[in-house]
């Protein structure tokens, strides 16, 4: 069976790194935009197992091109097409919170399942579902943890009295798994969200940061509002420095600048979403998860 990683231009570097980790070929996917906004997607090369690499930040534009690319890969002879989307969008809206709202997670899950034989993602933002297979019916869906890559990036960089801080209960698994091997102290906050840029936080036991460096750990940075609220508490409690670490950083340049203005001296993120702070390669953890899988069953009728 031949395997190749197919990647779009914006994340060609990350897709090539994955191909290298898997000892597989990399093939570029090109997109031409027509004046009316349509995309012409072109794949070159072929493989019986095609790993189609694209994170789904800015999903409305990217999803259509990903579906077009999957169809072109099958036309080129792929027996199986697996979507490698290190960042996966539309996972938060898993119910109708208000009458008439679309349940985005279900719609996107069914769409992806209808077009791909498998899905691999990293630290998806799931709330009320226990596993990805509930979201992606009938296909193998892998939920890879980014924590080992984040932990490796911190190794050897931290002073022994550094305290790791998760801003809310959802961040607990990441902050605890990163703190465990070096034996660092952990604090986990409690967050209430009132709007996209309106949160309040309390961090029980925050007095422990006085005179110590703090590292904020979260699965994702969107607007940066959560981290800014937490950084304010840490500054007031006497932290000597504040760094932020996340799997997915979707923050704009202006939001990154706001993080800095609010006392977060450095932001470090994995490269699921390419950007200025996305320096931690996820290729090793993705390759390890993919290598242990076998997408050999015949595609469902």
Give whole-number Cα distances, 130 to 82, 121, 134, in Å: 22, 15, 8
Q: Is 191 a catalytic residue?
A: yes
Residue placing its CB nearer to ligand R5P in the complex, 14 or 222: 222
| Binds ligand R5P (CB under 6 A): choice among 43, 83, 119, 220 | 220
The DSSP annotation for 225-256 comes to HHHHHHHHHHHHTT-SEEEEEEEEE---HHHH
State the nearest-atom distance from the C-beta of 124 to ligand R5P, in Å.
11
CA distance 163 to 160: 9
| Binds ligand R5P (CB under 6 A): choice among 221, 244, 268, 287 | 221
CA distance 268 to 157: 12
Residue partners of 301: CB distance under 8 A and separation at least 6? none
225 lies in the site for ligand R5P, by CB under 6 A? yes
Residue placing its CB nearer to ligand R5P in the complex, 139 or 245: 245
Name which of residues 187 to 206 contact ligand R5P (CB under 6 A): none
224 lies in the site for ligand R5P, by CB under 6 A? yes
Among residues 107, 94, 31, the alpha carbon closest in space to that of 66 is found at 31
Rounded to 10°, the helix 283-291/12-22 angle is: 50
Among residues 70, 237, 62, the alpha carbon closest in space to that of 163 is found at 237
- The site that binds ligand R5P (CB under 6 A) totals a number of residues, namely 13
Tokens at residue 216, please? 């904020």
Tell me the per-residue interface mask from 159 to 178 with ligand R5P, x by CB under 6 A, - otherwise.
--------xx-xx-------
Residue placing its CB nearer to ligand R5P in the complex, 29 or 221: 221
219 lies in the site for ligand R5P, by CB under 6 A? yes
57 lies in the site for ligand R5P, by CB under 6 A? no
272 lies in the site for ligand R5P, by CB under 6 A? no
Give the footprint of ligand R5P on this chain (CB under 6 A). Answer: 167-168, 170-171, 218-226
Q: Which residues are catalytic?
A: 191
């Amino acid at each position: 069976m031949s395997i190749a990683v197919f990647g779009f231009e914006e994340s060609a570097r990350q897709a090539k790194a994955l191909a290298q980790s898997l000892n597989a070929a990399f093939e570029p996917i090109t997109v031409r935009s027509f004046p009316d906004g349509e995309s012409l997607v072109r794949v070159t090369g072929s493989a019986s197992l095609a790993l189609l690499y694209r994170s789904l930040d800015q999903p409305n534009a990217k999803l259509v091109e990903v579906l077009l690319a999957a169809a072109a890969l099958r036309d080129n002879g792929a027996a199986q097409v697996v979507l490698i989307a290190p960042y996966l969008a539309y996972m938060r809206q898993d119910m109708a919170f208000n009458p008439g709202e679309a349940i985005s997670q279900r719609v996107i899950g069914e769409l992806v399942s209808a077009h791909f034989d498998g899905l691999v993602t990293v630290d998806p933002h799931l709330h009320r579902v226990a596993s990805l297979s509930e979201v992606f019916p009938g296909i193998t869906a892998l939920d890879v943890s980014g924590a080992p890559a984040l932990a490796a990036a911190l190794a050897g960089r931290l002073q022994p009295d550094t305290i790791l801080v998760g801003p809310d209960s959802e961040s607990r698994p990441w902050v605890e798994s990163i703190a465990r091997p070096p034996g660092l102290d952990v604090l986990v906050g409690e967050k209430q969200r009132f709007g996209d840029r309106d949160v309040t936080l309390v961090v029980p036991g925050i007095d422990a940061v006085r005179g110590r460096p703090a590292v904020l750990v979260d699965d994702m940075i969107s607007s940066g509002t959560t981290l800014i609220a937490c950084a304010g508490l840490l500054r007031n409690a006497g932290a000597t420095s504040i760094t932020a670490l996340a799997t997915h950083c979707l923050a704009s340049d202006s939001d990154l600048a706001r993080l800095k203005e609010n006392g977060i001296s450095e932001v470090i993120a994995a490269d699921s979403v390419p950007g200025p702070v996305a320096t931690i390669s996820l290729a090793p953890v993705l390759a390890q998860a993919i290598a242990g899988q076998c997408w050999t069953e015949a595609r469902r009728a």
